[in-house]
A and B are shown apart, each in its own frame.
Chain A
Amino acid sequence: MNKAVNSLIPPEFFSARFISFIVLLVLGIYLMTLYPMTKLVTGLTDPFYSPTLLILPLIGLFRLTCYAYRKDYHRHLFNHPVACSIGFRGEFKGRSYTGETRFFRVENLHRWFMYFSVAILPFFYYDIAISIIRYPGYNYVISLGTILLVINTILVTVYTLSCHAIRHLVGGNIDCYSCQHSIRGKIFRGQSRINRHHETYAWLSLSMFFLVDLFIRSVAVWHFLNPVLLHW
Chain B
Amino acid sequence: MDKINLKIYRKDPSVDEKEHYDTFEVPYVDGMVVLDAVRYVEENLDTTLAIRWNCKAAKCGSCSAEINGFPRLMCKTRIDKVGFNITVNPMGAFPLIKDLVTDVTGNWDILRKIPPFTPKELGPDQHFSMKQEDVERSKEFRQCIECFLCQDVCHVVREHYTDYFGPRHIVKAASLDMHPMDTIDRSTFLNKEGGLGYCNITKCCQEVCPEHIVITDNAIIQEKERAVDLTYDPLAMLIKGRRKKEKRVV
Which residues of chain A have a CB within 8 Å of any CB of chain B?
67, 70-71, 74-75, 80-81, 84-89, 91-93, 95, 97-101, 104-105, 108-112, 115, 164-165, 167-169, 172-173, 175-179, 182, 185, 195-196
List of 3 A-B pairs having minimum Cβ-Cβ separation, nearest first: A176-B180, A99-B198, A178-B131
Cβ contacts B185-219/A at 8 Å (1 or 0 each): 00000000001011111111001100000000100
Q: Determine if A164 and B232 form an interchain contact, defined as CB atoms under 8 angstroms apart.
A: no
Report the Cα distance A75→B226, complex, angstroms. Answer: 25
Q: Determine if B225 and A168 form an interchain contact, defined as CB atoms under 8 angstroms apart.
A: yes
Q: Determine if A88 and B69 form an interchain contact, defined as CB atoms under 8 angstroms apart.
A: yes
Partner of A177, one of B66, B70, B133: B133
Q: Is B71 close to A, CB under 8 A? A: yes
Report the minimum CB–CB distance from A77 to chain B (whole Å). 11
| With contact pairs A177-B134, A178-B131, A178-B133 given, residues A172 and B225 touching in the complex (Cβ less than 8 Å) | yes
Chain A residues positioned under 8 Å from B224 (CB to CB): 108
Report the Cα distance A182→B133, complex, angstroms. Answer: 9
| With contact pairs A81-B155, A101-B197 given, residues A195 and B222 touching in the complex (Cβ less than 8 Å) | no
Chain B residues positioned under 8 Å from A176 (CB to CB): 134, 180
| With contact pairs A85-B69, A87-B69, A109-B232 given, residues A168 and B222 touching in the complex (Cβ less than 8 Å) | yes
Q: Determine if B162 and A99 form an interchain contact, defined as CB atoms under 8 angstroms apart.
A: yes
Chain A residues positioned under 8 Å from B222 (CB to CB): 168, 172
A-B CB pair tally, cutoff 8 Å: 124
| Complex A-B: 30 CB contacts under 8 Å | A71-B201, A74-B200, A80-B202, A84-B71, A84-B153, A85-B69, A86-B71, A86-B89, A86-B92, A88-B69, A93-B160, A95-B160, A97-B159, A97-B160, A99-B195, A164-B217, A164-B221, A164-B225, A165-B228, A168-B221, A168-B225, A168-B228, A175-B137, A175-B179, A177-B133, A178-B130, A178-B131, A178-B133, A185-B133, A196-B217
Partner of A111, one of B180, B195, B207, B228: B228
5 new A-B contacts, CB < 8 A, other than A97-B162, A179-B180, are: A74-B201, A105-B197, A165-B228, A168-B222, A178-B180
Q: Determine if A165 and B225 form an interchain contact, defined as CB atoms under 8 angstroms apart.
A: yes
